Amino acid sequence: MAKRPAKAQSKSVTIHDQKLQRGEGGELHQLAQDGAKVLTTSQGAPVADDQNTLRVGARGPALIDDFHFREKIFHFDHERIPERVVHARGYGAHGFFETYESLSAYTRADVFQRAGEKTPVFVRFSTVAGSKGSFDLARDVRGFAVKIYTKEGNWDLVGNNIPVFFIQDAIKFPDVVHSVKPEPDRAFPQAQSAHDTFWDFISLTPESMHMIMWIMSDRAIPRSFRFMEGFGVHTFRFVNAKDESTFVKFHWKPKLGLQSVAWNEAVKINGADPDYHRRDLWQSIQTGNFPEWELCVQLFDQDFADNYDFDVLDATKIIPEEILPVKPVGRLVLDRMPDNFFAETEQVAFMTQNVPPGIDFSNDPLLQGRNFSYLDTQLKRLGSPNFTHLPINAPKCPFHHFQQDGHMAMRNPVGRVNYQPNSFDPAPRESPVAGYRHFPSEEQGAKVRLRSESFADHYSQARQFFISQTPPEQRHIAAALTFELSKVETRVIRERMVSHLMNIDETLATTVAEKLGFQSMPTPADAAVPPRQDLEPSPALSIIKRGPNRFEGRKLGILVTDGVNAALLKSLGSAIAKEKAVFEVIAPKVGGVTASDGSWVEADHMIDGGPSVLFDAVALLTSEEAMDDLVREATARDFVADAFQHCKFIGYDKSALPLLEKAGIADSFDEGIVALPGEKDVALFVKELGKLRIWGREPSVKSGKASPPAK
């Protein structure tokens, strides 16, 4: 592994040089001319640098006397009431964390001391950009916030389903969120990034390019909370009983593997069931199919950090698992829904600064800003400094302090003493042995607003992510960028974005430019650091390469009619159950149908309310006598055509052939269209479902070579 040049560890660049390196110099220079408006604080003080927080040296900790950052983040945190400014649409569940083995060599955190010990948790999943009333399957980051009620206080691991972020410094957080929210003069679009202000900001912020590759990938439209990863994003520290530090990055790995949906599918799901992710989590827990993840860690020392090709304090970078493998250290199981959504999911308050002894922070400037910001957020949202009195936020271990009174206080110190130090017993006192101790890192440097030069490579890992994807996943990224930028009305913004793509992958840039109707390709954006071409693909970054190869936890939709073969339906249901999957029945009428043996089959959906986008695969178990009516149903034809378009497996009995023909796919059969004449074929069909999708079908569907639907 090449050692990072010494100058990258110590040399800093001026803010003027940084803007030029990021390709911002030309436009921003114009803003600084005489007569232009000068950015100020709310008190009118001119702002010299709105890009970086005040810190000790280029890579040191943030300083509390940064009044500009304090004012900016303070006002941002108080913009909304009562819903969250970001992560407003969320859904949560209770469960437990079980430790695999003692990690006492690395950390004194009590939760990691005893193998097999279970600790209660609450998890909240969310989208970032939309309001509480938005839909579940927006293209967006997903919040993955875990509150672990340890014996030494609450630990909030407040992460996302993407391991990097848009920005490197928290002072830019209000800007990135403002840009992606509905445009203030028109209050739309809702829960969408496909508009001018977002892409204007992004195109002027090259550090966002790695995150953009993730957001435009299928990671941003997960099939379920149960099928997505979670990440702590930042570099943290483990600190053991000897006050020795080990850097750590946290990963949540879903037991059922990764899975996402197609964009066209997501659009239709949002119309058919905007609560799709909520319903999925609810149903899985209510039926005893408890979602499960493994907590894995990447552990490394200061020597690794000093020699790694990228700065571990940069939240726009990762350490690929092929370079530093993840170590499983425990499992998370969700097994109980809240008794009341508002009391728990809506009022839960997560804060990155909530850590027990043995877990500490790095100088990541984005993490430092989050630690500073979150307390303001919870005060504004929940209306009182006593939000920890709410049961969902209260520790489950003994706690003692002298905080008292305030709005909605539900408990106060008991007795005579409410101060420290005091000479009365048995009043609580600090404990140098058991208490929280920060790692005594040594910091030095001038008080400056600078960003380390080691943060300046904005394209290399973005390129690595793209080349790590399979061809279908790369096509999806190109299609997502094309769709998003097609909604941008300002041509220069589209051109700026394509100029950045030129530094990531020329073929990707050309594909997007051609789809957008460019007459010529723009010059690649100026890069502060030339994009590296030598980074190897990381298979761990691909969803398809890490597919589960099993149908466990998924859902089969079975379209039935009167006269359905009872034995075949029963056989298919049994085979699905053996795979630890579930099925739902769709019928012409919501009540159900009469099977071939005279038995009644209850339906979960009528065709109009149960489109194939709600399922991971479909089966067509019909009858010849019912087919004439069924082929005249537009929703029945759509049921089949959408399943085919979205590359899903389709099982059918021979009576369904006319429906396949009307859906326009009778002449386009592939290995994903499986006949079900008998029970033996059912077993083979269900076994194949573990592949989840037939992505090889996609190019023919996109090109229109598949037969068009019959009229």
- What pLDDT digit, counting tens, does each position of 319-333 carry? 999 999 999 999 999
pLDDT at 642 over 50: yes
Q: What is the pLDDT of residue 81?
A: 55
Question: Rounded distance, CA 652 to CA 572, Å?
Answer: 11
Give the tens place of pLDDT for each residue, 571-603: 999 999 999 999 999 999 999 999 999 999 999
Residues whose CB is less than 8 angstroms from the CB of residue 349 and which lie 6 or more positions away in sequence, other chains included: 378, 381, 382, 387, 388, 390, 393
pLDDT digits (tens, 9 = 90+) for 177-215: 999 999 999 999 999 999 999 999 999 999 999 999 999
Residue that has been written with the tokens 């396949």 in this structure:
660
pLDDT exceeds cutoff 50 at 416: yes
pLDDT score recorded for residue 463? 98
163 falls in which pLDDT band (50, 70, 90)?
Answer: very high
Check residue 510 and give its pLDDT: 98
pLDDT higher than 60, residue 710 = no
Instruction: Return the axis-axis angle of helices 679-688 and 566-578, rounded to nearest 10°.
Output: 40
Q: Residue 383 — left, alpha, or beta (φ > 0 → left; ψ -120 to 50 → alpha)?
A: left
Q: Is residue 368 within a helix (H) or strand (E), and if so which, with residue range? A: helix 365-382
Catalytic pick from 52, 68, 154, 160? 160
Lowest mean pLDDT among 30-34, 79-83, 361-365, 676-680: 30-34
Per-residue pLDDT tens over the stretch 60-75: 999 988 988 988 887 7
24 versus 552: the higher-pLDDT residue is 552
Burial-class residue 529 by CB neighbours within 10 Å (0-12, 13-18, 19+).
Answer: middle
Pairing of strands 359-361, 236-239: antiparallel
Question: What pLDDT score was predicted for residue 35?
Answer: 66
Rg (CA), the chain: 27
**Amino acid sitting at position 444:** Q
Whole-angstrom Cα distance, residue 280 to residue 267?
Answer: 17
Distances in Å between the Cα of 450 and the Cα atoms of 23, 41, 132, 366 are 17, 19, 37, 14
In angstroms, the CA 618 to CA 516 distance is 35
**78 an active-site residue?**
no
Smallest CA-to-CA distance from 299 within 240, 227, 351 is with 240
Out of 339-353, 371-385, 426-440, pick the least confident.
426-440
Please compute the mean of the pLDDT values over residues 543-561 and round it to a whole number: 96
pLDDT on residue 680: 81
| CB within 8 Å of 387: residues ≥ 6 apart | 347, 349, 378, 379, 393
Reported as a single tens digit per residue, the pLDDT across 89-136 is: 999 999 999 999 999 999 999 999 999 999 999 999 999 999 999 999
DSSP 437: -
Name which of 211, 216, 158 is nearest 480 in CA terms: 216
Torsion of CA 258, 263, 267, 272, to 10 degrees: -40
Closest CA to 47 of 451, 449, 455: 449
Between CA 585 and CA 604 the distance in angstroms is: 5
For residue 482, with 0-12 CB atoms within 10 Å meaning exposed, 13-18 middle and 19 or more buried, which class applies?
middle
Residues 6+ apart with CB under 8 A from 422: none
Closest CA to 334 of 87, 92, 553, 582: 92
Task: Locate the domains of the chain by residue range.
Answer: 83-387, 455-541, 555-703
Handedness of CA 169, 171, 174, 176 (dihedral sign): negative
Determine which of 249-253, 291-295, 421-425, 621-625 has the lowest per-residue pLDDT on average.
Answer: 421-425
160: annotated active-site residue = yes
Flag the least confident range among 145-154, 272-281, 433-442, 689-698. 433-442
What is the CATH topology of the domain spanning 455-541?
Hemocyanin, N-terminal domain (1.20.1370)
Classify domain 555-703 by CATH architecture: 3-Layer(aba) Sandwich (3.40)
Q: Given this model, what pLDDT does residue 64 score?
A: 86
Residue 708 is given by DSSP the state P
Spatial separation of the C-alpha atoms in residues 301 and 219, rounded to whole Å = 30
Cβ atoms < 10 Å from Cβ of 319: 21
Alpha-carbon span 329 to 412, nearest angstrom: 38
pLDDT value at 33 more than 90: no
Is the pLDDT at 711 greater than 90? The verdict is: no
pLDDT over 70 (residue 13): no
pLDDT at 400: 87
Cis amide leading into 82 (omega within 30): yes
For residue 19, what pLDDT is reported?
A: 47
**For residue 413, pLDDT beyond 90:** no
Per mean pLDDT, which range of 5-19, 57-71, 248-262, 646-660 is the poorest? Answer: 5-19
pLDDT at 498 over 80: yes
pLDDT for the residue 2 = 44
Mean pLDDT on 270-277: 97
The answer to whether the beta carbons of residues 106 and 243 sit under 8 Å apart is no
**3-state SS string for 94-158:** EEEEEECCCCCCCCCCHHHCCCCCEEEEEEEEEECCCCCCCCCCCCCCEEEEEEEEEECEEEEEE
Q: Is 500 exposed, middle or buried (0-12, 13-18, 19+ CB in 10 A)?
A: buried
The mean pLDDT of the chain is 92
Q: Residue range 338-348: average pLDDT?
A: 96
Question: Does the pLDDT at position 706 exceed 60?
Answer: no
pLDDT score recorded for residue 403 = 87
CA 700 to CA 679: how far, in whole Å? 31
Confidence check: pLDDT of 5 > 50: no
707 contacts 667 by C-beta, under 8 angstroms: yes
Give the three-state DSSP class for 577.
Answer: helix
Among 311-325, 464-478, 623-637, 668-682, the range scoring the smallest mean pLDDT is 668-682
* Long-range contacts formed by 98-104: CB under 8 A, 24+ apart: 98/330, 98/331, 98/333, 99/329, 99/330, 100/328, 100/329, 100/330, 100/331, 101/329, 103/238, 103/329, 104/240, 104/241
Segment 135-159 shows an average pLDDT of 97
Superfamily of domain 83-387: Catalase core domain (2.40.180.10)
| Per-position DSSP letters for 327-347, written without gaps between them | EEEEEEEEEE--S-HIIIIIT
Amino acid at 70: R
Looking at the DSSP bridge assignments, the partners of residue 41 are: none
pLDDT at 11 over 70: no
